[in-house]
Structure 1
């Protein structure tokens, strides 16, 4: 049975599962689908196009599936899809998609801290931690297990690799490759995310191989030549292949 405050508004066309808690002054619009066991604290807004899974907790002032802040948006039918077991803190805003991709996608087990923003058509993976007041512009992709500190500004169309640690206050317009620490001003490669990888169970041998891969990659002025050095000198494990694929697929170039 759902617990819905008499001070909340739930549109009669909204589809709501079981065992949800919807606090006072929440607003749930039409064309919304909500799963089971979610907690919406007071003053949460769930806008048109929201698709929310199970076991999420959303804190006061958060607004989910907001109208995109994109002048090309013409009211097309789009969604904002949120997975399971996410913690979405106070005043977080997440826009729904546009005609470009159709959906903004949020995975599972993420912590989105206070006042951060995810723009239209972004894709956020699983097990990420995003700090206070960090902002992602449109169509940013964030891979699994990324840790992004507070007040980070990310240019549209950028990609952030998995297992990274990004220093607070960074701003960048190029891709952040996986497994690294990014920081300073301008944002640059600051080594392998040693502590983070150990916490995730990476062996010292594998961490050393990842470190060597980046030494080879950045030793050449042309990234294509660095990739060839990696293929020639290192065993291409799945982790090394991830680095290779990431760099080769980058449209904006990677930080150096």
Structure 2
């Protein structure tokens, strides 16, 4: 394990032997990180976050913070990220709320800079969110969907498999 001396890793975090953690990163208690994953500088991994193998998390990403949901009263909710997923600079992904309990990002996904994935979202495998895509709570994005830059998606919307949403379009209802 390669942990930069300025990183803060809680002793009860579970990191595979070959995980690397960059400068000033924070890994809270109860976080689980799979083999081969690289955590960049200034990344924050909050309690309840489980990350698969061979993921790459870039500078300033914040994963697993409590949901921005006024009904949330605390509790053990989670964020689960599959294998080989790439999360770029300053992306934010919140853990689930008490309604569902879990936010999921599948395997082989690519989450670009400044994207936001809110509480209780479910992204299947091979999803691409380009820069500044904003997913509200309870959104489902099916496999191989591609969302262009600066796309806001309303809560409870479903984006179908292989869909391509052009940059800047607002998505207020399901896209089959």
What is the TM-score of this pair, normalised by structure 2?
0.99
**Structure 2 residue aligned with 1:150:** 149
**Structure 1 residue aligned with 2:108:** 109
- 2:83 and 2:122 map into 1 onto residues whose CA distance is 15
Shift of 1:155: 0.4
**Structure 2 residue aligned with 1:64:** 63
- 1:53 and 1:18 map into 2 onto residues whose CA distance is 13
Unaligned 5+ runs, structure 2: none
Length, aligned pairs only? 176
What is the TM-score of this pair, normalised by structure 1?
0.68
Shift of 1:172: 2.0
**Structure 2 residue aligned with 1:200:** none
Superposed CA deviations along residues 120-149 of structure 1, whole A, max 9, x for unmatched, are: 000001111111001000000000000110
**Structure 1 residue aligned with 2:137:** 138
- 1:53 and 1:139 map into 2 onto residues whose CA distance is 22
The runs of at least 4 aligned residues of structure 1 exceeding 2 Å deviation read none
Shift of 1:116: 0.3
Higher RCO (CA 8 Å, separation ≥ 6 residues): 2
- 1:129 and 1:104 map into 2 onto residues whose CA distance is 16
Local SS of the residue matching 2:80: strand
- Greater per-residue strand proportion: 2
What does 1:1-256 align with in structure 2 at a 5 Å threshold?
A: 2-177=1-176
Unaligned 5+ runs, structure 1: 178-256
Largest Rg, 1 or 2: 1
